[in-house]
């Protein structure tokens, strides 16, 4: 059975250097092989860094995506509160 490879973390500076190599003309295939990167991760770095200067997902979200995430978080919190109140209602009804 194959062992699952441990997730590797790369610094922002390393990611920028790899994208800079690519932008100056070094082929993506050569970079991914030389530094043992996954092609999909490298493509994402290139896309994000060239668009906004940062490889972090949070830095590349649109205002609409940010608002949607906030609304989903609020919705989850309100559902939890509602569930708690539904469970508590019969308890308070018996005490009256």
Render pLDDT for 7-64 as a digit per residue (tens, 0 to 9).
788 898 999 999 999 999 999 999 999 999 999 999 999 988 888 777 767 677 788 9
Query: Rounded to an integer, what distance in angstroms lies between the CA atom of residue 81 and that of residue 1?
Result: 45
Rounded to two decimals, what is the model's pTM?
A: 0.57
**pLDDT for residue 80:** 95
**pLDDT for residue 7:** 78
Query: Rounded to an integer, what distance in angstroms lies between the CA atom of residue 62 and that of residue 42?
Result: 21
Q: pLDDT grade, residue 1 (50/70/90)?
A: low
Long-range pairs of 13-18 with CB within 8 A, sequence gap ≥ 24: 15/45, 15/49, 15/55, 16/49, 16/55, 18/42, 18/45
């Amino acid at each position: 059975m194959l062992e699952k490879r441990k997730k590797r973390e790369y610094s922002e500076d390393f990611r920028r250097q790899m994208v800079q190599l690519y932008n100056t003309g070094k082929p993506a295939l050569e970079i991914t092989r030389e530094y043992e990167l996954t092609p999909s991760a490298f493509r994402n770095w290139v896309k994000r860094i060239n668009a906004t200067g940062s490889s972090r997902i949070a830095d590349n979200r649109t205002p609409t995506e940010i608002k949607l995430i906030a609304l989903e978080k609020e919705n989850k919190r309100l559902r939890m509160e509602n569930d708690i109140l539904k469970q508590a209602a019969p308890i308070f009804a018996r005490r009256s």
